[in-house]
Structures are given as C-alpha cells and as structure tokens.
Amino acid sequence: MSAEAADPGAPLRRRSRPRIDLRRLGRVALRGPVSRDRLPDAISHVAEAHRAHHPDADLTILRRAYVLAESSHRGQMRKSGEPYITHPLAVTLILAELGAETTTLTASLLHDTVEDTEVTLDQVKEQFGDEVCYLVDGVTKLEKVDYGAAAEPETFRKMLVATGNDVRVMSIKLADRLHNMRTLGVMRPEKQARIARVTRDVLIPLAERLGVQALKTELEDLVFAILHPEEYEETRALIAAATGPDDPLETIADNVTHTLRDAGISAEVLIRPRHFVSVHRVRRKRGELRGTDFGRLLVLVGEDADCYAVLGELHTCFTPVISEFKDFIAAPKFNLYQSLHTAVVGPEGAVAEVLIRTHRMHKVAEAGVVALGNPYAQDPAAPQTEPSDERADPTRPGWLSRLLDWQESATDPDTFWTTLRDDLAQDREITVFRTDGGTLGLPAGASCVDAAYAQYGDLAHTAIGARVNGRLATLSTVLSDGDTVQPLLAQDTASGPSPDWLDHARTPAARIAITGWFSDHPDEAKPDPETADATGPGTRGEPAAATEREAPARSRSGPRPTGVVVDDPNAQVRLAGCCTPVPPDELTGFVVRGGAVTVHRRECPAVAAMQEIGRAPVVARWADGEGRESDAGCRVTLVAESFGRPRLLADLTEAIATADAAIVSATVEPPSEQRVRHTYTLRLPDAAGLPGLMRAMRDVAGVYDVSRAQHPAPAG
C-alpha cells in the first residue's frame, strides 16, 4: 500500500485548523517541470517559510548550501523517479515551517551530501563552520560494508550520542524520516513494513519525547496505513461519514466563542480534528464513536493567566467533566508540552474535549525542541564564559541523559537495539527525591531497584531494601511521582543481586547492570521460578515477607482438590497464585521441587520463564464437571482501571458483594493523572460467575476496564 496515496496527513475537515500542513509544504518543491533549470526556484519556498518565523534571518548561507547540495546530487534520482535534490528540499521545508533556525536548515539541505556524494565533512566544515558540520555528521549513516547487520543500530547509537550534544541532530532525522515515509509507496511491501516498524518503535517515541507533535502525528498515521491497512481504511471511512454540516463540535465551538466574548476574554476558538490513529484509539476505548469524538476544541489566548480565566468561564457556564481535567501548565510534561485539558457538556449532552493554551505554548506543542531555535546561542547580554569542550545543553531532558548513560554499557548492538526499543516504550516519567535533597528522574512504573542503580550504580548490587517516604519497603516496591526513596545497602560488598530483580527493573541501566553481574558470575544459578516467591528482593537467599501466593500453600495440611487432571494421577496438583487460573482457562503445568505439579494459565509469564530454563510442560486440563476448588470455590485476581471520584471504592466493593464474591485482599494504588488502579484477589463460589462479576465491575461509574491480573496482589 502506498503511504503517499493513503494521504493520512490531509485535512480532515473544511474549517480553520491550527495543525501545520506539512504535506502541502513537502510537495512545493516538486511543482512544475523537474528539469534542473527550474530547481533553483524551489529555495524561495524555503526562504519564505523561514522568514515567516525569523524575519531578520540572513539567507545567504542557505543559498550557498542549496548550490552545493544541488550540484553534488546532480544526476542522482530517487526511486520515485524525481531528482534527488527534491528530498533535502522537502526535509528543509518541513523544518522551516516548524520554525527551525538557519543553522538547522543549512544542515538539512546538506544532510545527505557526505553520505551519498563526493562531498566530505572537511569541505562542509570549511564552507559552513563547525556547527553545520556537526549536524551533518550526526545524521550521516554508518556504512553497511563496515558494520554489516549492526549498521542500523550503530547508526542510531551514533545519532543519539550526537543528539546528546545537540538536539537539532534528531530534528533533522525526524524530518528526513517523515519525507521518506510520505514517499514509501515505491518500495517493496516487505521493505515498507520493516521501515514502518522501526519508525513506530524508535522514531515516533523520540518525536514524542522531543515534543515535535506535528511530525509525530503524521508519522503515526503513515505507519498505521502501512502496518494496519484494513483498520486504517475502516477509520478513514468513519471520518468521511462523520464529516457533514451537522457537527456537534461546531455548535459547542460557537457557544464557547460567545461565552468568552461576553466575559471579555480575547481568544481564538478552533476545531482541531483528530488524526487517524487518535480516532482509532478512541474507537477501541469506547466502542461506538460519538459525533464529538472526531475532534477537540482548541482555545488559544495571549497570556498564561488567560488560560485559567478561560477554564473558569467554561466550568462556570458549562457542565464540566471533572475527571478529564489536567493541568500541564503548572506541571509541564517531560517533552516541554504545556496546556490545560478539560471536557464540557454541550447541548443535548454532547461532551467535547477542550485544550487551552497560549499561542507560544501551541507553537512548542507542535514543534517541540525545534521551536526553541538555537539552544546554544550565546546571549549577548550574558557574561562571557570560558569555552568548554563539552556543551551544556539546556534542552537535554532526563530521559536522554539516562539513555546516554546506559548505552555505554550496552556494547553489543543487539542488546542496544532491543534495550532502546524497550526504553522508548516507557511513555511517562516520574521524579522521586533522594534523602540528600537530590532528585532522580525515572520512567513510570520504576521500582526501588531502579532507584538504587540510578543513585549508586554497580554498588546497588548489595542493596537489601529501601525506605520509601520514611517507611521500610522491599526493592520491588513501585515508586510514585514525588516519593522520597532511600536505598539501603548491605555491609557485605561480596553479595550480589537476586535474579528476580529483573522482574522489577524498568530502567535499562538497572537491567544491564544486573544482567552483567550474572554474566560475570556464571556459577550463580537461576532460582526455580516456582520457588522464587520464597526469596525476597534483597540479598540472595534472604527470606521475604509472605505473599498472597504463598498463603494457601502454608495453610494446606495435604493435597486439596483443584478440579484439574494431569498425566500422573498421584501427583499433588496446585493452582498457581501468579495467574489464578479458573475454568475455562487453557492450562499448562510444571513439576516443581517435591514432585508437585503447579498449574498456570497458558499465557502466564511464568510459563515462558519455566520453558527458558528447560523445564518440560505437563499436560493439564479441567476435569469433566469439575474446575473449581472444592467447598472453598475458586480464587481469581482482577485489576480495575478507573477515573478517580468520591465513593468509587465503596461502589466497587458493593458490586463485588452483589456478585457473591468474597474479597481476600485488595490494594489501591495512589491516583496518577486522575486515574486509579484497584487490584482485588477474590474468591467466587463458582468460576462460571467470573464473566458476570467482571461485567458488574465494569458497570460501576468511572471504571473503564477490568482485566485478569498476571501477578498476585499483596496479602491484605
């Protein structure tokens, strides 16, 4: 499927639209005859777009860069049949429209010259200076002849290291990939899919982290069209069917405009259509789409204080949906994003999401680090400082610093490539405080294991526990934003980590350090996954606090009926507490120490862990007419995801009781962005009641998902 033919970046509706139209600008250079005589005219489009953001920019260097690029690429053609110069021109137009400064545009015009022509880095440096040379070198690929299969991961490693010193390197790479994705239709389907997957796993998360939403959203749609063509066409049809004169968002937008005008607030109210992937996500979450799900209202004002004035008017004159309110102005996202998010109820009960931001915030939301211009330019008013070999980058976020740290330890290209993708899959950051007053930036879901390695490096191998907010905690404890953490180290420096720390580590630095320790200590055997519960997250062999998973085993005086049949009729059979199987779950068993057979759900992560260490599975099935623990019923662990509201816990408990389920244990995690996770271990009289119980919990107001857990909750 041709990504260009799909045109996912085209305007979704005919109305005012603040989103930057990158596709139109990307084709400007291709208009008219493609003869070399006409190509020099294309640089005027770059100049026009650049002057819109930088009226006083000196365009001389751009013209010189264009002359070098055009002459060096002369005679080269793209696979689409266009002169190759159209590619660096299109990339430069993308960046110019986003507001990139002159140095970035100069480097983007030259970004393929060293890689694909006879031009050398020394020539670039001589004619355009050190900065342009650095940027061009940063985006130049490594030769496959020299690196073989490792060329792609090592190219990205080189590019990320260069980005650590100058974020503009990644800006050029993202624009380069966007134009390549637009014209990917000329490639073979398998190559389209390979490039799309790398874009999805690496480039899109990097665009999100650098705040370049204008590039990220179009890249998402292009990847969606290639990897999921059927779902893409379904989404396209839904958007086309929703486009019409009777748009509920139009009515709400008019009401908001009149409300703000009557309040004396100067604001621009726009309808911001959702891009294809966004509509698809809403559809998967809600099922049937509402008329207002195809877009959001965007309110642009002049000053920060006006944002809160708009919010006050909207919440006064309309019925607000409080659970949808988020303040990213007081607490900006880690990618520079600032905005107020809310939702209001319009006529006939239509709910519209509203984004409130200043014009400056909107520019940063669209262009991210590109909108910051040259972050390394010296302020003439600032005192002069001595030059340094290492740049101080005011735009380098914590995630990038951590990436640059752990990549040094990942010497193997495959390890680097796999770890990079896993690291970029973390989509949120938290900040925790050290007891010495410092802070640690960690990905959401990080545990005390991650904090220990982030603070102490390899010394964390001797960690035995932690204090979280002054209270003793295990190293597996998941940290929340704003927690104070103090890892506790053992006096015995010869002790090492426990293998199950890898289950709790979320940061690449921690995982690489733990894996490296076991590589250096091959005699340290991995524990049996079935007996790992008895070993805590402290030093190896240290007994841990009892978990819910262990409790039933200690209370049994002998084998108890489980309703499960295995090949050996004399074997003691027990249901695994990590996944709490119930009929009609598909089962797999494993013989553990003592000859007992522990039975798991087939999709349980412990099954893969057992197979990795060479344990042979045992055939297990539910007995006819059985499938439940006698007398005591069956046990199951459920996770309820919900929006925070008063009486939520009481309503969930009532729904559970109404379904004749008994609560064995329950945990409620601290709210995060107005969302709450409840984990319940329940006992039902019969497994047949599980679907009804899950439906009853989903019907509780504010609950948007209920699922089976893969890991047990702590004992209550």
Catalytic positions are 115-116
Distances (CA, A) of 678 to 135, 447, 506: 48, 18, 21
Please give the Cα distance from 680 to 637 (Å, whole number).
Answer: 6
CB–CB of 459/451 below 8 Å?
no
Place of tokens 């680097």: 416
CA 18 to chain centre: 24
Three-class SS string for 356-376? EEEHHHHHHHHHHHHHHCCCC
Burial state string for 136-170 with b = 16 or more CB within 10 A and e = fewer than 16 = bbbbbbbeeeeeeebbbbbbbbbbbebbbbbbbbb
Q: Is the peptide bond before 581 cis (omega within 30 degrees of 0)?
A: no
Q: Are 612 and 657 in contact (CB under 8 A)?
A: no
Per the rule left: phi > 0, alpha: psi between -120 and 50, beta: everything else, 99 is: left
Distant-in-sequence, close-in-space partners of 208: CB < 8 Å, separation ≥ 6: 216, 335, 427
Burial of 252-270, coded b for 16+ CB within 10 Å and e otherwise, reads bbebbeebbeeeebebebb
Query: At what angle are helices 86-98 and 168-182 packed, to 10 degrees?
Result: 120
Query: Do the Cβ atoms of 200 and 223 come closer than 8 Å?
Result: yes
3-state percent breakdown (helix, strand, coil) of the chain, nearest 5 = 45, 15, 35
Alpha-carbon Rg of the chain, whole angstroms?
A: 29
Instruction: Write the CA distances from 409 to 164, 265, 308, 412, 413, integer angstroms.
Output: 16, 54, 46, 9, 11
How far, in Å, CA of 424 to CA of 443, rounded? Answer: 10
